[in-house]
Every structure is written in C-alpha cells, then in structure tokens.
Amino acid sequence: MANQRATCKGSPSANYYSNGCRCAGCREAWRVFKEEDKATKNKRGTKRDTPMVEHDAFTREQILAAREL
C-alpha cells in the first residue's frame, strides 16, 4: 500500500497532488494553490509591524512602581 500513489481519475486537484498524484493537471492545480497561499502569507503582517511595543522584561522603575501599589 505504501508504494501506491493516489490518482485523480480525471479530476485533478491540489489535494490529489499532495496525496501523490503527479499528472499534469494535479501539478498545475498545486502550483496555483501554492501561489495563492504565498500571496495570502505575504499580505499578513508580522508582529513586529504593530505600532505598540511589547516589552519582554520589566525595567527597574516598573518593578518599583508595582511594589508601591
């Protein structure tokens, strides 16, 4: 069973390509799928693009101010 590849049987899709079908239609569907996926990933920003800075450690002043409360 491990050596058998999935076949699309005439209805190519990116899912069949990921399962092992390597016909021309499935390869083209996979290429289009990956291009769309790459375009959506590029549109998302990263956390560093946010305007608010989040500190990863407290400063001495912040610790002292918290102790006073």
In tens, the pLDDT along 20-52 reads 899 999 999 999 999 988 887 776 666 666 677
Q: Is residue 34 part of a domain?
A: yes
Q: Is residue 50 part of a domain?
A: no
Please count the structural domains in the chain.
1
Q: Is residue 29 part of a domain?
A: yes
d(CA 17, CA 13): 7
* Amino acid identity, position 49: D
Q: Quick one: CA dihedral 9, 14, 16, 17, positive or negative?
A: positive
Q: Which structural domain range is residue 35 located in?
A: 1-45
Q: Using alpha carbons, select from 4, 5, 9 the residue that is nearest to residue 25.
A: 9
Q: Is residue 23 part of a domain?
A: yes
List Cα–Cα distances, 7 to 23, 24, 27, 66, in angstroms.
8, 12, 12, 64
How confident is residue 1, by pLDDT bands cut at 50, 70 and 90? very low
How confident is residue 60, by pLDDT bands cut at 50, 70 and 90? very high
Q: Is pLDDT larger for residue 4 or for residue 58?
A: 58
